[in-house]
Every structure is written in structure tokens, then in C-alpha cells.
Amino acid sequence: MDFLMEQPHALWQQLRSECPVQSIGGDADREAFMVLRRDDVEAVLRDPATFSSSIHNEIMGAVMGEAMIGMDGQEHKDHRDLVVKAFRASALERWGTELIEPSINALLDRIAPLGRADLVDDVTHRYPVQVIAGILGIPVHDYEQFQEWADGITSIAVEPERAQAASDALIAYMLPIIEERRNNPGDDLVSDLAAAEVDGKRLTNDRILAFIRLLLPAGAETTFRAMGNCFVALLTHPDALARVVADRDLIPAVIEETLRWETSVTVISRNAVADTEIDGCPIPAGSVLMLMTSSANRDESHYERSDEWDIDRPPENHLFFGTGRHQCLGMHLARLELRIGLNAVLDRLPNLRLDPDAPPPQIEGFAFRSPPSIPVVFEPVPVR
């Protein structure tokens, strides 16, 4: 099986109908399975006693540190409780006006007068990482550097040395900031983490750094890809685009349908801690599970015409943000960024359409799916 294949939906569809829990090899004492149907993926995510998250820290721990995404049980709960308040929907309003709107508008100021742009290079790739940097209280003049480290850390699967170098550089940059915020707390997440306690003990610098290194790929890489997929969907469905331009109440439907239709982070991993079975398939203790949320979100037993992007589809749950105890901590933030970002682009780039002189954009990739570029044209608007 070619794991770097660009268009895997047909394969996932075939496996869903023929063998939805699929052995994909592994080594002698550790078999690996792909799980493709919606009910099976959901059942595994909701059974943390049998399926552990420790696989995340096993794979990424050396570069990323011990982060909550790879913890189980009480340890996970303690770490999540510390930050959950900061990411609640009701806490996000302030970030919306003070940080998210200014970030997207600064990016659009650069391209609005030009009449043409690449929405990936110029907008989606830069926007979420700037939001995370702002949440952490990083000075604006360091955003470009922060972007490079974020890109470096997310290359962990293909370029581990580059990821390690980016992680080391980020640690060297953040350590003095953490110390400074311990002594002079500000109104930012690093100050909150520096003051936070688990079991009456302050979080160590290592734990704070692990959380920060998790937020970069978790919050930036994922949201930028989801936003690119939203634009591909809209720009390749001009009738829907015209309706959305005229009626912005449709934007949440665009976002939810795109998250279902092209799940930009296609896999969630778990490891079985006991002998068990999924859908009748025996799973030995120690096995690695690749839960294919991208496939689950197109499972035809849950979604009619599941390959179609349709903003009139009745609202239905999807597994884009996972489910259960580890369900994405940043999902309200991601949705807010997408809503503000889509609205701003439609407001500021009138008559937005695909560049007729460029190849049409393609959503590509196996583990992460998004368009490498989206060349567009629009009416130029001078910035006052």
C-alpha cells in the first residue's frame, strides 16, 4: 500500500466495504491495523481503558516532550483541566476581536490591492500560526520565526532531524519567556501555564514546553489545511459560493460539511492494552490502531451520497475533531478562526474566483489532506 498516495478515498471506500478492520503489517510483537468504519472508530475512541493514547508520546515524545495528547487516565485529566477553560467557546470572544480579526486582516491588506493571490501561500498557511503565537503572547516581530519552527516541528514524520532542530530552537526561545512570565504574569496562555498547578505542584518547564510544542502542530498545521479545503470546496462549487457570499449564515454549514468531506488530519492513533476485537477482527494486546476518521466521515452507512460536498446536507456529527476524552481541545478556536477567516476573505476579495490561467487546485495527501496552492483572482481593492 502506498502511504503517500495523493488520492486515497477510492481505496478507503473499497476497504470499508470489503474489510473495514485491516491488518497493515507492523513487526513481530506489534501488529498494526487500519480501522475504517465510523461506528468502529467511534467505539475505539470512546474506550480509553482498552485503547491507550500513549502511542502519541512513544512516536513524538523525543521531539515534542510528554504532552497531554499521549497521556491516559487521571494524568491526562489533570493536564487537560488546567487549560480547558482557556479554550472554552465562551472564553474565545476576546481572542476573536483582539487577535483573530486583526491577524486575518493584516494578511489580506497585503493582497487586496493586487487582484490575484495564492490563498495557501498568502493566507491560510500564515494565519493560524499567527493566532497561536498571539495566544502564547509571542511578540509580533517574531511571528515569521515562529512559523518556521511550526513548519519544522510538523515535519517530524518525514524529516525527524529538522523537527528536532526546530524543537530545540523553540525551547531555547521559550525558556526565558516562561521564566519572565512566572515573575511578571501577563494576559496570555504562557503566564496561565506558568502559574498553574497539578496536585499542588507548579508545572515544570518541561511540561509547559511540551504543551507549547503540541499547540503548534495541533493548532496551526491542522487549521491551515482545513481552511484550504473550505476554499477548494467553495471555489469549485460556484453556485454555493454565490449563495454564501450573499448569505453568511451559511458559513457554519460550509465549515462542518468541509470538515466531514475532507478530514484534513486523516488518522488518530491508539494502542490496544489488552487482547480485544473490533468488528469481529481479533486485535492482540500491543497492536497499533490507525483510526481513519477521514474514511469514517464518508461512511455510506451514516452519510447519504457521502462523497459529495453538499452544504444543504442536514447537520450530522462527524469525527473530524475526534471524540471521547481527547476530543480536540481547540475545536471551538478552530471553528472561530475558520468562520472569521472565511468571512474576511469573502468581504475583502470581491468577486473571488479560481485563476482561469492556473491549474485547478487539488486536495492531496494521505495522513494530512489539503491543497498545496489555490491560485485566485478578484477585484483589486486599495487599502486605506
Which region among 96-104, 153-161, 191-199, 264-272 touches ligand HEM (by CB under 6 A)?
264-272
| Of residues 20 and 70, the one with the C-beta less far from ligand HEM | 70
| Cβ-based neighbour number of residue 108 at 10 Å | 21
Q: Does 361 bind ligand HEM (CB under 6 A)?
A: no
Q: Does 232 bind ligand HEM (CB under 6 A)?
A: no
Q: 63-97 b/e with 16+ CB inside 10 Å = b?
A: bbbbbbbbbbeeebeebbebbeebbeeeebeebee
| Chain centre to alpha carbon of residue 30 | 28
Letters for 37-66 (x = contact with ligand HEM by CB under 6 A, - = none) are ----------------x-------------
| Of residues 271 and 306, the one with the C-beta less far from ligand HEM | 271
Which region among 103-111, 118-126, 326-334, 374-382 touches ligand HEM (by CB under 6 A)?
326-334
| Of residues 264 and 306, the one with the C-beta less far from ligand HEM | 264
| Of residues 133 and 377, the one with the C-beta less far from ligand HEM | 133
User: Which of 21, 43, 111, 132 is the binder for ligand HEM (CB under 6 A)?
Assistant: 132
Q: How far is the CB of 67 from ligand HEM (least distance, A)?
A: 8
Which region among 88-96, 166-174, 185-193, 330-338 touches ligand HEM (by CB under 6 A)?
330-338
Q: Does 69 bind ligand HEM (CB under 6 A)?
A: yes
Q: Does 326 bind ligand HEM (CB under 6 A)?
A: yes
| Of residues 154 and 223, the one with the C-beta less far from ligand HEM | 223
Q: Does 103 bind ligand HEM (CB under 6 A)?
A: no
Letters for 265-294 (x = contact with ligand HEM by CB under 6 A, - = none) are x--x--------------------------
3-state secondary structure the chain: CCCCCCCCHHHHHHHHHHCCEEEEEEECCEEEEEECCHHHHHHHHCCCCCEECHHHHHHHHHHHCCCHHHCCHHHHHHHHHHHHHHHCHHHCHHHHHHHHHHHHHHHHHHHCCCCEEEHHHHHHCCHHHHHHHHHHCCCHHHHHHHHHHHHHHHCCCCCHHHHHHHHHHHHHHHHHHHHHHHHCCCCCHHHHHHHCEECCEECCHHHHHHHHHHHHHHHHHHHHHHHHHHHHHHHCCHHHHHHHHHCHHHHHHHHHHHHHHCCCECEEEEEECCCEEECCEEECCCCEEEEEHHHHCCCCCCCCCCCCCCCCCCCCCCCCCCCCCCCCCCHHHHHHHHHHHHHHHHHHCCCCEECCCCCCCCCECCCECECCCCEEECCCCCCC
User: Which of 100, 177, 210, 226 is the binder for ligand HEM (CB under 6 A)?
Assistant: 226
Residues 338, 340, 343: CA angle, nearest 5 degrees: 100
Which region among 169-177, 231-239, 324-332, 349-357 touches ligand HEM (by CB under 6 A)?
324-332
Return d(Cα 354, Cα 209) in angstroms, integer: 41
| Of residues 99 and 112, the one with the C-beta less far from ligand HEM | 99
Number of residues that bind ligand HEM (CB under 6 A): 24
Q: Does 223 bind ligand HEM (CB under 6 A)?
A: yes
| Of residues 56 and 377, the one with the C-beta less far from ligand HEM | 56
| Of residues 181 and 326, the one with the C-beta less far from ligand HEM | 326
| Of residues 342 and 377, the one with the C-beta less far from ligand HEM | 342
User: Which of 64, 92, 178, 214 is the binder for ligand HEM (CB under 6 A)?
Assistant: 214
Q: Does 222 bind ligand HEM (CB under 6 A)?
A: yes
Q: Does 371 bind ligand HEM (CB under 6 A)?
A: no
